[in-house]
Amino acid sequence: MRIAFLTGIWPPDVGGPATHGPDFSRFLVARGHAVHVITMGDDEPAERPCEVEVVSRRLPFPLRYGSVALRGARAAGRADVVYASATYAAAAAASRLGRRPLVVKLVSDPAYERAQRYGLFAGTLEEFQSATTRPIRALKALRTASLRAARTIVVPSSYLAEIAGGWGLSRERFHVLTNPAPPPRDVEPEQLAPGTFVFVGRLTRQKALRTALAAVELVPEARLVLVGDGPERVELERVAGDRVEFRGARSRDEALRTVAGAEAALLSSDWENLPHSAVEALSVGVPVVATAVGGVPEVVRDGENGLLVPPGRPDELAAAMRRLLTEPGLRDRLAAAARPSVAAISSDEIYGRLEQLLAEARR
């Protein structure tokens, strides 16, 4: 197959979609497919497993997004199928202009993310589904119109599939495919101070890292390392205590080494779909302390491979961290169950199924 792949971020960017893009492209190329990526970026791509075309983020948004759509249409015209893990409106336009079928990996509610970014809505993802102000209705209409162009919609969690099923789209189009665990390999853990928890991901409002910082303040023996960058970094650095370290963006291998040396991965999000960071921590044998939001409980099982707490509660997050550090045998027991808990969602298994869905969309 020839695949035109549109995505919003790509290494050196960090985050789940930036992990998925090179990984899946590499898998497809190894299987004999041709992949042409169109993405947005501030720098040259850090990984090139295939042809990667970057639209500069320095362009004003209308020009940038329009360029993604036009370049995507050119790539689609030479492809068999269009695949998108973001930039859904641009992908829908590319699919129509290139007259090729579209497969979408839906990782969030794009209308909700825009409403949050523009300051139009401050509630939860679930509450957003019933919001009816005129600007929000317009964002929802654009989201649904873009996704309606897709022949197949892949979602990483049953949680998001249930929400998206209420958008007026055919439920037969939805397929739940969990974010895959990295291939099994030995990772040399970074030597971190005792009591260190690690967060890996974008420093965004969604991740509610102020909750994590407040929890660390309540546990004197705890430290926190933040791996990643994002719009919240400056403000978080301003309020963080001296037991919090900001590493900035790191390569995936560096991030895995850091997580592998931690007491646990920490995830304080107010809402989530199904974060790559949780799956990757479990894959290197590290438990996860997380908020029980979105699809997180589909991979992090309380008391088995991690600990779950309600969102927005620094006291309960701190209690879970303290318990992990002080309860005899708990951390070892959770760590022993971590790697086996994601053994069934290997990248070969998940990407093989996604490859099959791309092939089926051509028929």
Cα dihedral 89, 94, 97, 101 sign: negative
Identify the pLDDT of residue 186: 74
DSSP symbols for 267-286: E--SS-S--HHHHHHHHTT-
pLDDT confidence band for 183 (50 / 70 / 90): confident
How do residues 228-254 score in pLDDT, each as one tens digit? 999 999 999 999 999 999 999 888 889
Phi and psi at residue 12, in whole multiples of 5°?
Answer: -80, 5
How do residues 74-114 score in pLDDT, each as one tens digit? 999 999 999 999 999 999 999 999 999 999 999 899 999 99
pLDDT confidence band for 185 (50 / 70 / 90): low
Range in 12-21, 179-188, 259-268 with the lowest mean pLDDT = 179-188
Domain at 2-180+346-361: CATH code: 3.40.50.2000
Selected from 3.40.50.10490, 2.60.40.10, 3.40.50.2000, 3.40.50.720, the CATH number assigned to the domain covering 196-345 reads: 3.40.50.2000
Q: In whole angstroms, how far apart are CA 337 and each of 42, 64, 301, 341?
A: 39, 45, 10, 6
**Does the pLDDT of residue 7 top 70, yes or no?**
yes
What is the token pair recorded at 55?
């639209």
How do residues 40-73 score in pLDDT, each as one tens digit? 999 899 999 999 999 999 999 999 999 999 999 9
Give the 3-state DSSP-derived string for 285-352, with helices as H, strands as E and coil as C: CCCEEEECCCCHHHCCCECCCEEEECCCCHHHHHHHHHHHHHCCCHHHHHHHHHHHHCHHHEHHHHHH
How far does Cα 174 stand from its chain's mean position?
18
**Bridge partners, 82 (sequence order):** 4, 102
How do residues 315-359 score in pLDDT, each as one tens digit? 999 999 999 999 999 999 999 999 999 988 988 999 999 999 999
**Does the pLDDT of residue 122 top 90, yes or no?**
no
- The model's pTM is 0.82
Domain locations in the chain as residue ranges: 2-180+346-361, 196-345
What is the token pair recorded at 264?
């646990």
Determine the average pLDDT of the residues in 183-195.
Answer: 87
Report how far residue 357's alpha carbon sits from residue 363's, in angstroms, rounded to the nearest whole number: 10
Domains 2-180+346-361 and 196-345 share a fold: yes
